[in-house]
Amino acid sequence: MSRETISQSISIVHPISLSHGKNAEVWDTTGKRYIDFVGGIGVLNLGHCHPRVVEAIREQATKLTHYAFNAAPHAPYIELMDRLTAFIPVDYPVSGMLTNSGAEAAENALKIVRGATGRTAVIAFDGAFHGRTLATLNLNGKVAPYKQKVGVLPGPVFHLPFPSRDNGVTCGEALKAMDRLFSVEIDVDDVACFIIEPVQGEGGFLTLDVEFAQALRRFCDEKNILLIADEIQSGFGRTGQRFAFSRLGIVPDLILLGKSIAGGVPLGAVVGRKTLLDNLPKGGLGGTYSGNPIACAAALATLDEMTDEHLKSWGTQQEEAILSRYESWRSKKLSPYLGRLTGVGAMRGIELANADGSPAPQQLTQLLALARDAGLLLMPSGKSRHIIRLLAPLTIEAVVLEEGLDILEECLVKLA
């Protein structure tokens, strides 16, 4: 099949064409099988074609394929918002809106905080990724390739170091940078919100420092600044519980959702304090496809599977398997390029580094090809594109997970 009609500005990690998939396995158009550790970049926590999700899609498609909710409400949207807001582990009244994607959720969150605070400035973090739309580009803590050649971006946006045990940036260093920011760059009274990922995705599965998270929450409360948690990739069980912010001992004001919210069907949401979500004029929020009935049906089926018991058992199984294998690789010095294990729960990254600790992106590129040839799909991340993202479905069968880790082990040995 020709790809000449597809924009060459779209970057392709794996030059194959997929045909079909089942749970944690996919097949390309030549019939070759792969174990999928990419999971649609975090979209498929329930795997490919989960039976319950597929059945929900089929059933809804016979009833109502689309209606714009702001034209006439439909039952799947209403039921999903009731279920979704009850699923959010916070202690305040929650409301929200459905979107087509995580980036669209972020865009709407920016509108919401502007309306609620009367302020415009946003503080984001180095290494962050919040989307590819024009406003979210400026939130991203990385220029190449996202911000190149697109000119002046909506703002004002300022960035701080992201403190994490996984990158060596301490809570103290981040707080010192924040103090400097408000002493030199911007008046704190002009800041509408902080936006932060509890675990960075594109940044390399870096886990936010707990002490900093709690200090940030206190600071926001003192200065009447809103705190947005981007759970688009870390949510819906990826870290072993519903959302990663619960691990930090904080409660955000707004939460961005997407990716695994609907079992592979495009859907996102922004949810949070009802007083915030209700502050814009009628018509200030909405969208033609936002909360499409089929997407809502898929999300409802997804929530049926996202029980706390399931999330804990899935996360524990995957985390234990990854930790055991990684510790074995380290103990026997499997590869001179094997660096740190980042992340938490089943949201794990493996860093490739040189002997001096510097990133080894060339070896990661080599590993992607070696693994693909051997039947394993991997996804890169990190500022230097040197950290492997492990995003196998939470529902992956134990034997398939071990097979995938076997392939990864064999390929790590071959790195040169």
All domains of the chain in start order, with CATH: 53-305 (3.40.640.10), 308-413 (3.90.1150.10)
Tens-level pLDDT at each residue, the chain (416 residues)? 568 888 888 889 999 999 999 999 999 999 999 999 999 999 999 999 999 999 999 999 999 999 999 999 999 999 999 999 999 999 999 999 999 999 999 999 999 999 999 999 999 999 999 988 888 888 877 776 777 766 666 779 999 999 999 999 999 999 999 999 999 999 999 999 999 999 999 999 999 999 999 999 999 999 999 999 999 999 999 999 999 999 999 999 999 999 999 999 999 999 999 999 999 999 999 999 999 999 999 999 999 999 999 999 999 999 999 999 999 999 999 999 999 999 999 999 999 999 999 999 999 999 999 999 999 999 999 999 999 999 999 999 999 999 999 999 999 999 98
Kindly state the DSSP code that residue 123 receives in the 8-state scheme.
E
pTM for the model: 0.95
- Cα atoms in the Cβ-side hemisphere of radius 13 Å centred on 381: 29
- Kindly state the helix (H) or strand (E) to which residue 18 belongs, with its residue range: strand 18-22
Do 296 and 98 contact (CB within 8 A), yes or no? yes
Structure tokens given for 243: 């959302």
DSSP H helical segments within 141-264, as ranges? 171-180, 210-223
